[in-house]
Amino acid sequence: MDKTLLKKIAVVLFFTMFLYSGISKIFRFQKKVKVLSKKTQLPLPINQLGLVGVILLEIIGSIIIVTYYLQDNTNKQKQIVSVELVKFVKSLFLLFLVVVTLLYHPPSKTKMIPFLSNLTTFSGLLYMFSNK
């Protein structure tokens, strides 16, 4: 099978999780803010703003990266999304995963799988980042 096609399929499948997660946070916004407030101990407006940022990253960031990998990158004039924007968004996703892992899924003897799941997701994104 063509490696380019495999990469496109992998990127679409990888970011489906973030897209779904961002959309689901919209419908459970108040509950998510309440949980985040307990974890961070920050004022409510900061947690609300943070969650809005996460939702935007998960939805718009996913669309940006998927669009980049699905577009024809051989012709720069036809590009909808630039490589610079993709690098920036990938960096935001990496930072997001570090923060989320530390807040919600730190390594522990009783709950190691959620930590390892986030570590795997981070690694997949890091690998993608290293290739382009």
Segment 116-125, tens digit of pLDDT: 999 999 999 9
**Domain tally for the chain?**
1
Segment 74-114, tens digit of pLDDT: 777 778 999 899 999 999 999 999 999 999 999 998 989 99
Task: Say how far apart CA 31 and CA 11 lie, in whole Å.
Answer: 30
pLDDT level of residue 4 (50, 70, 90 thresholds): confident
Element (H, E) at 78: none
Q: 18 phi and psi, to 5 degrees?
A: -70, -40
Residue-number span of the structural domain to which 87 is assigned: 3-131
Alpha carbon 41 to chain centroid, angstroms: 23
